[in-house]
Chains A and B, each alone.
Chain A
Amino acid sequence: MPDAPPPVRIKRRLPLEWLGILPFVVFALMFLILPTMKIVIGAFQSPDGGFTFQNLIDLNTDSIRSAYIASIELSLITAILGCAVGFAMATAVVFGGLPKRVRGPLLTFSGVASNFAGVPLAFAFIATLGPAGLVTLWLKTEFGINLRAMGFNLLSFWGLVVTYLFFQIPLMILIIIPALDGLKREWREAAQVLGATGTQYWRMVALPILFPSLLGTFALLFANAFGAVATAFALTGPQLNIVPIKLFAQIRGDVLGNPNLGYALAFGMILITGLANVIYIVLRTRSERWLK
């Protein structure tokens, strides 16, 4: 994507051109970089302002540790399932011999569903799988299946998994369909000419090429689930012990009893989503080389 390389300037001029992006830089500093820096610095500050690792060490309590574990599990599971189901649906549409008419509506719907997160999504699932929800009642009256007795509770970890999938799967579809389109017909034909079976083509040609975008999208879905607050909050209220909900309660009313511990909690979130996204960016640049 880079345009022609900038010509080497012999004469150094005053960098007046940089003034053109000054408003953007000021905005990014004030409302993105500095607020984040404030959190990061705060995580390493003691209440009197000195440098300390104590806040990060203090994160190691049962309650906070289990919140991080639950959040990471939630994000991992929804990312894995989202990738798997989204990939299955995308390959079905691109290579499955389905009518061409299916594709457009699926993409449009995915655009809508991936943006239909937050409070209303929680309501939709309560009305469907909640105690008095459509599917719950239907299973009970028609088949005698009692979801609750079987251990399924929407307002719990697994309920959250099912709900998150509603925006995770479409996000996967939106990102992976262009990648699937990038698989050239010639590659498949070349593999066939050399005697490869369909499975061999997928295992040895297509999947290795798609691997960076698959893993990259996985990282994006992970970060997407990890930072989500509204859906979980509207579904389960402030009780469920996951990191974003804990941070929400901490910001509202210092439930941890130590403002700097709040910074450390938030810093942990940045660290984890940051790591996931570094993987995403690195792998995406690698996959774009193939998809040109």
Chain B
Amino acid sequence: MKRLFAWTALVSGCLFFLLPLIGMTEFSLKMRRGVYSFDAYVRVFEDPRFWETFSYSLTLAAATIIFGVLLVVPTAYWVRLKLPQARPIIEFITLLPLVIPAIVIVFGYIRLYNTSSILPLTGSALGTDILLTMGYATLALPYMYRAVDTGLRTIDVATLTEAAQSLGAGWFTILARIILPNVMTAVLSGAFLTLAIVIGEFTMAALLNRPAFGPFMQLLGANRAYEPPALAVIAFAITWGCMGLIQLVTRFSKHERAKA
């Protein structure tokens, strides 16, 4: 009886999740009348805007990840080592992006950094790119901080620091050669999650008018029939890839630790 209920709940749930995935895959293959074909994918890959917007978003994701790591790792390390009393405040700030909707944050950017302000970031393409990167770093902050902080919990930060200092290491060496390698798994998890968030992001990129992958998908969705589901399949594959990589690095590191 209990097992019957359990199976029913699981199977009907899975059905709900599988149908849209099957639906988009099937639809994306139907471009040629009567037979299944990859025409929609060919069309997508032949579109130069696909590659332009995709590589733009990929570049921005890379910038976001680098910036995020440089910001979060030293901060989380420092808070653990020297400022445990600042911890609640910092944690509260890192959770704020889950509270304040992205559209509100970007609305604030547009009004705060417009061309007539002290810091007219939206005035130039580069400035807007920087602003968008900062926006993405903000969106990724809750996940990145949590991942790194959990990683730091598993190592003895104070002892490692003292050991490195007594061997004459400076702060940069400690962070880059002691702390970072020790929390690499956490950093990579955060990085792949950031990639999954940034690659198809729509709201911020659209409102800042940058040629990102998200707005491109939306534009194609408004004008075409068969390419959008093909894009959805591609986007799903990317998300799946990111999550798979997170699992892979986590498992790999556990393996390493078990051997050691």
Interface residues of A (CB under 8 A from B): 2-3, 6, 17-18, 20-21, 23-24, 27-28, 30-39, 42, 85, 88-89, 91-93, 95-98, 102, 106, 108-109, 111-113, 115-116, 118-129, 132-135, 165-166, 169-170, 220, 223, 226-227, 229-230, 233-234, 237, 244, 247-248, 251-252, 262, 266, 269-270, 273-274, 277, 281
Q: Which residues 73-121 in B have Cβ within 8 Å of A in the complex?
A: 74-75, 78-79, 82-87, 90, 93, 95-112
Q: Which residues of B contact A2 (CB under 8 A)?
A: 84, 87
Q: Which residues of A contact B22 (CB under 8 A)?
A: 128, 134
C-alpha spacing A159/B164, complex, angstroms: 58
6 smallest A-B Cβ distances: which pairs?
Answer: A96-B6, A35-B108, A128-B23, A227-B101, A127-B27, A230-B202
B108 touches A123 (CB 8 A): no
- With A24-B71, A111-B243 as known contacts, state yes or no: A135 contacts B19, CB within 8 Å: yes
- With A96-B3, A112-B243 as known contacts, state yes or no: A31 contacts B134, CB within 8 Å: yes
B99 touches A115 (CB 8 A): no
C-alpha spacing A91/B206, complex, angstroms: 40
The smallest C-beta distance from B5 to any residue of chain A, in angstroms, reads 7
The smallest C-beta distance from B13 to any residue of chain A, in angstroms, reads 4
Partner of A248, one of B98, B99, B203, B217: B203
A127 touches B23 (CB 8 A): yes
Q: With contacts defined as CB atoms under 8 Å apart, how many contacts are there between chain A and chain B in the complex? A: 262
A128 touches B82 (CB 8 A): no
Is B7's beta carbon under 8 Å from chain A?
Answer: yes
Q: Which residues of B contact A27 (CB under 8 A)?
A: 71, 134, 137
A108 touches B243 (CB 8 A): yes
Q: Which residues of B contact A20 (CB under 8 A)?
A: 74-75, 78, 82-83
C-alpha spacing A178/B79, complex, angstroms: 27
B96 touches A32 (CB 8 A): yes
Taking each of A89, A97, A230, A266, which has the highest tally of chain B beta carbons within 10 Å of its own beta carbon?
A: A230
- With A21-B86, A112-B243, A116-B235 as known contacts, state yes or no: A277 contacts B98, CB within 8 Å: yes
Q: Which residues of B contact A6 (CB under 8 A)?
A: 84-85
B101 touches A133 (CB 8 A): no
Is B39's beta carbon under 8 Å from chain A?
Answer: no
Complex A-B: 22 CB contacts under 8 Å: A32-B141, A35-B105, A88-B13, A91-B6, A93-B10, A97-B2, A97-B6, A109-B17, A115-B193, A115-B242, A118-B200, A120-B236, A121-B232, A123-B232, A127-B229, A128-B24, A133-B23, A223-B99, A227-B103, A229-B202, A234-B221, A266-B107
Q: Which residues of A contact B183 (CB under 8 A)?
A: none
B23 touches A92 (CB 8 A): no
B7 touches A92 (CB 8 A): yes
Binary per-residue interface labels of chain B (12-47) against chain A in the complex, 1 for a CB within 8 Å, 0 otherwise: 010011011111101110000000000000000000
Partner of A112, one of B95, B107, B240: B240
The smallest C-beta distance from B111 to any residue of chain A, in angstroms, reads 5
A120 touches B7 (CB 8 A): no
The smallest C-beta distance from B10 to any residue of chain A, in angstroms, reads 5
C-alpha spacing A287/B231, complex, angstroms: 41
Q: Which residues of B contact A226 (CB under 8 A)?
A: 101
Q: Which residues of B contact A38 (CB under 8 A)?
A: 108, 111-112
Q: Which residues of B contact A237 (CB under 8 A)?
A: 222
C-alpha spacing A94/B220, complex, angstroms: 42
B71 touches A96 (CB 8 A): no
C-alpha spacing A230/B134, complex, angstroms: 19
A23 touches B107 (CB 8 A): no
